[in-house]
Structure 1
C-alpha cells in the first residue's frame, strides 16, 4: 500500500490531541496486577501537528521535530528520539511506505516528570496527528498499542493506565490492560498541585522492588493493603460517599510514603491540603517528586489551593468530579 496517495497528499496537515491524567489510587500496585483508578485532566492538553516538509533530507533523516513551551533540552532530546521510534512503529503498523520528509510540531502544556502522563499524551497526540495526515482510520486498540509501545520505551515496564487514560472521557478503573468507566455517585473537585520537582518513575519502581526483595513479605503486605484501599475507594465513589473516598486517598498516600516514595515537600503539601479542609490528599504518580492530588468540596477549594501554594506548590489545576448519568 502506498503511504502517500494523491488524495492523502491533499491533506497538508494532520492534527492530534490528548490530555493529562492523574492516578487516584493504584500507583505501583497496578504494575503487579491490582486495579488502578485514573482521572482524565482535560484542562491540560497536548496538541500535535504533522505535515509535509520542503526538506528532502538532512542529518536527522526523514523527520523534523519541534517542541514548543518551556521543556528543557534534555526533555526535547528524549522526546525527539522517542518520536522517531514512534513514527517508525506507526508506519509499520499502518502500512505506510515511501513518504517524504515530515515536520512534526508538539505543543504540550503538560509538565513532564509530574505523574500527569505527559509522555503518553504527547505520544497519543502524535499518533493521532499522523493518522489524520495519512488518512488512516485508527482504532482505539491500535492507538493504545502504539502509545503503550512508546511508554515501555520511556518508562520500562508500563502498566498501560497512562496510555488508556490520556484518551478517556471519564474516570476509569484499569486492570491488566482493560478499562471501564467508574461508577460515580457524587460530585466534587480534585485539586492537582505541582510540587515543582520532577519525579522518576523508573527510579521509584526500582526503589520499591528493592524494598520488596530486602524484606520478606513486604510485597504481599503492600499489594494487599493497596488492593483493600482501591476496593473501598471504588465502592465509596459509586455509593456517593466523598468523605470515605477522601480517607482512602490519604491512606494510600501513607502507603506510598512508608515505601519511601514521597518527599518532604510532597508530605508538607498533603498536610497543608488536609489542614485546609480537604477530604483527602495524596501524592499522585510514580513518586519521588511530582504532584499532590487533593479532593475537596467546592466551598473549600480556594483555601486548599492557597495553602498548597504556601506549602510549595508552583501551580494548581482544578478538575471537577461529576456524577455520571450513565454510571455502570
Structure 2
C-alpha cells in the first residue's frame, strides 16, 4: 500500500478502533559489497535506503498482540498471547514482527500487549531486506512503547534472533545493522564479529553518480535451500581449516585450503576470504579517492559470487553484463542470491542507456521485465515523520 503516515494512522483506527500511539519506520538496505561474509564473522558495507517499512502501533491491555498489514486489508489480524509465544510457533509473515517481540522478551525485556499495523515500500524478495525492515520497525516501536531503553546494536541482535529462531532463516547481523544504524550520505562498515561499526562517506550525488537497483523479479527466500547450504559449507570449511570462522583465514591460507578441501568447499572459502579483502579495499577507496573508484571491486565481487559461491542466476548475470556493456563503472548481484537484485554504479548521464540496455537484454532472453530504480543512502530506523 505504501501509505502516507496520516493515511496509515487512519487505516489503523479503522482496523483496531482507536488511534495509534505512534508510527515507526525502518529502511531496507542495499549492500555495496560484502556478501555472505556476515555469518562468517567478516566485514560488510551496506547502506540504508529510502524505501522503508512503517508500523503504526498502540499499547493495549493484557498480553495479547494483534498484527495486521495494509496489503491484506480484509484479513483478520493475527492475534497471539505473548505468554504463549515460543520458538517457531508462528508461521507466515507474522513470524517476523511477533518473532521480534518474542526475542525482546527472551533478552529480558517485557513487552506490553499491542496492536500493530504494517505498511511497506520495500519490494519483497528483491534482495533489499524487506524482512529486516519489518523486524527493525517493530523493534524500535516496541522499544519505545515498553520504555526498554535497548540500544540500536542490541536491537539488531534481537532482529537477527527473530529471523534465525522464529522464522528459521540462518541469516547474519548485516541487514538489521544497516536498517538501524544507517545515516544519510553514508554506508555502514560493520565488523560482524565484534559488532563494531562506523559510518563511511558515500556521497553519490556529489560525485555525479547513481546506484541503480535492478530487481530481476526472481523471488528468493533465505529460509529455504541454497542459503542454508552455503552457510553449512562455510562452517564445515572453517572446521576443516581449524579456525573459529572463515574471517580468521587470509589470502595466504588459500593455498593450504586448496590442498586440504574438496573443490566446492575450497571455492566457497575463497569467495568469503577474498570478499572480506574487497570490503576493506572499498572502505579505503571511499575514505580516499571516492565512490567513482568502486567499480572494479563491485564487478570482481560478482564474478566471485557467480563462479566460487554459485549464488547468481541467469537474470542477475544478464543485468550485470548488460550494465557493464552500456557503461556502468561496476555492477554485481546484491543480497543473498538465487534471485533478487543487482546493483550498477554509473555516471548519472549514462543511466538512461544502462536502463535501456538491461531492459533489452531481459526482453531478448525472454525474462520477465525488471524493475529498475536509483537508491541513495538514507537514515536508519526511528519514529516516522
**What's the TM-score once normalised by structure 2's chain length?**
0.70
Q: Of residues 88, 103, 125 in structure 1, which corresponds to 2:115?
A: 103
| CA distance, structure 2, for counterparts of residue 135 and residue 11 of structure 1 | 19
The number of equivalent residue pairs is 302
- CA shift at 1:264, angstroms? 0.5
Residue 46 (1) aligns with residue 48 (2): no
| CA distance, structure 1, for counterparts of residue 228 and residue 107 of structure 2 | 32
Seen in structure 2, the aligned counterparts of structure 1 residues 34 and 139 have a Cα distance that, compared at 3 Å, is: closer
Query: Which residue is 2:373 aligned to?
Result: 317
Seen in structure 2, the aligned counterparts of structure 1 residues 184 and 14 have a Cα distance that, compared at 3 Å, is: closer
Query: Which residue is 1:132 aligned to?
Result: 144
Query: Which residue is 2:213 aligned to?
Result: 192
- CA shift at 1:288, angstroms? 0.4
Contact 2:218/2:340 (CA < 8 Å) preserved in 1? yes
- CA shift at 1:313, angstroms? 4.8
The correspondence of residues 23-62 of structure 1 with structure 2, limited to 5 A, is 23-42=31-50, 44-52=51-59, 62=64
Seen in structure 2, the aligned counterparts of structure 1 residues 234 and 134 have a Cα distance that, compared at 3 Å, is: closer
Q: Of residues 219, 229, 232 in structure 1, which corresponds to 2:281?
A: 232
Query: Which residue is 1:82 aligned to?
Result: 96
Q: Of residues 195, 210, 226 in structure 2, which corresponds to 1:204?
A: 226
The correspondence of residues 108-127 of structure 1 with structure 2, limited to 5 A, is 108-127=120-139
**What's the TM-score once normalised by structure 1's chain length?**
0.81
| CA distance, structure 2, for counterparts of residue 306 and residue 70 of structure 1 | 34
The correspondence of residues 66-81 of structure 1 with structure 2, limited to 5 A, is 66-69=68-71, 77-81=91-95
Matched position secondary structure for 1:166: helix
The alignment yields a C-alpha RMSD, in angstroms, of 3.0
Query: Which residue is 1:281 aligned to?
Result: 331
Matched position secondary structure for 1:39: strand
Deviation per residue, 1:230-285 (Å, 9 max, x gap): 23322222222545411110110000001221111111111111122110111000
Contact 1:193/1:313 (CA < 8 Å) preserved in 2? no
Query: Which residue is 1:157 aligned to?
Result: 170
- CA shift at 1:68, angstroms? 2.1
